[in-house]
A and B are shown apart, each in its own frame.
Chain A
Amino acid sequence: MNRLAALAALLLVAASPFQDPPGMRRVEDLPPRPGPKLPEDSKPGCCDEGGAKPWPLYNQGVQWTVPLDLAARKARESGKLLMVFHLVGDMSREGC
């Protein structure tokens, strides 16, 4: 009977929501750790989850047609020449 009572108490505790013991400190409560910090004036990076973010200073004004074969077809149809900009990166993205 005692064993059954102990098991029931154990099951009751296991089923209840987890609570920190009284007085336990959380990570947020800890004092700051010594070590390198980001400089105060650091700006947001040019990347977002590994991908380059758009940069509004790039690519103002010129209308672009991609890919090259579509541009060539459009040039033929419209009687225009082709300008091909060969670069590392995407036209509208920051960095390289």
Chain B
Amino acid sequence: MRTVTFSNAEVAKAVNSRFIATWVNRQPGFHNCDTNAEKRIEKYDYECFATKNFCTFFATPDLDVLHYGSGHQYPPLFLKELDFVLELAAAVCDPRLRYMEDALPEFRALHEKHAAMHRSEEQRLLKMKIAPNDGSAHQSRRDSYAEGMRHLGRVHHDLVAKSGSLNGPVPLSQVFNSYLFENGFEETMEGDRNRERRDAPGMK
């Protein structure tokens, strides 16, 4: 995301105009010099890589989650997700961007609509024929894209379920350390032992 998507001029413009962007390092002090993941993304030009390694959340200023996606999404897809977040915010937030009390039906309807779109895209991708001379890299790219669509669909459904059980918005703290992902790749070793105990400052 840092290398490709957040460095894309169109994404930067869209993010800067409608969002305040912040980042949280969930494991300060950890460092490795392995840039293989970045090189692989650059080489194969993946559209999606729904890894556990990092996650992008969209929330109201009160830290109520609107949407999120784990791992890498290439700029055209990420721009679509930004559009969805803005559409959702317009439907469920008041003019001061506070989640409205009676917004659950709209929250559910929009998430379900987009889950269906992602599911349909996943099916379309999985039906794509890979020409024999395109090789395994092409198939890997296709499968990773389909995996990313499945992931976003699951996120939509999960947020609907969580908001239903809470009868209101989902606080960021509820998913910040337990977000969904499709593949368990992480640059940290041994399953990220600190992940369960770190909360971002200012979180409810």
Chain A residues with CB under 8 Å of chain B are 45-47, 51-52, 57-76, 78-91, 93-96
Per the bound structure, the CA–CA distance linking A14 and B25 in Å amounts to: 58
B116 to chain A, nearest CB (A): 24
Task: Tell me the nearest residue of chain B to A93, going by C-beta.
Answer: B31
Q: In the complex, are the beta carbons of B2 and A81 less than 8 A apart?
A: no
Known: A83-B19, A86-B179, A87-B23. 7 other contacts (CB 8 A): A67-B24, A67-B201, A72-B63, A78-B20, A80-B19, A81-B89, A84-B58
Q: In the complex, are the beta carbons of A86 and B19 less than 8 A apart?
A: no
Task: Tell me the nearest residue of chain A to B86, going by C-beta.
Answer: A81
A88 neighbours in B (Cβ, 8 Å): 25-27, 30, 53-54, 186-188, 192
Q: In the complex, are the beta carbons of A64 and B30 less than 8 A apart?
A: no
B167 neighbours in A (Cβ, 8 Å): none
Q: Given A59-B6, A75-B61, A81-B18, do A86 and B11 touch, yes or no (CB 8 Å)? A: no
Q: In the complex, are the beta carbons of A94 and B35 less than 8 A apart?
A: yes
B193 neighbours in A (Cβ, 8 Å): none
Cβ of B1 under 8 Å from chain A? yes
Q: How large is the interface on B (under 10, 10 to 19, 20 to 34, 35 or more residues)?
A: 35 or more
A85 neighbours in B (Cβ, 8 Å): 1, 6, 21-24, 54-57
Partner of A91, one of B8, B23, B58, B97: B23
Q: In the complex, are the beta carbons of A96 and B34 less than 8 A apart?
A: yes
Partner of A95, one of B18, B33, B192: B33
List 6 tightest A-B contacts by C-beta distance, closest first: A69-B202, A61-B12, A71-B22, A60-B7, A76-B61, A75-B61
Cβ of B166 under 8 Å from chain A? no
Q: In the complex, are the beta carbons of A46 and B35 less than 8 A apart?
A: yes
Task: Tell me the nearest residue of chain A to B59, going by C-beta.
Answer: A82
Cβ of B172 under 8 Å from chain A? yes
Q: In the complex, are the beta carbons of A57 and B7 less than 8 A apart?
A: yes
Per the bound structure, the CA–CA distance linking A78 and B35 in Å amounts to: 36
A90 to chain B, nearest CB (A): 6
Cβ of B120 under 8 Å from chain A? no
Q: In the complex, are the beta carbons of A64 and B21 less than 8 A apart?
A: yes
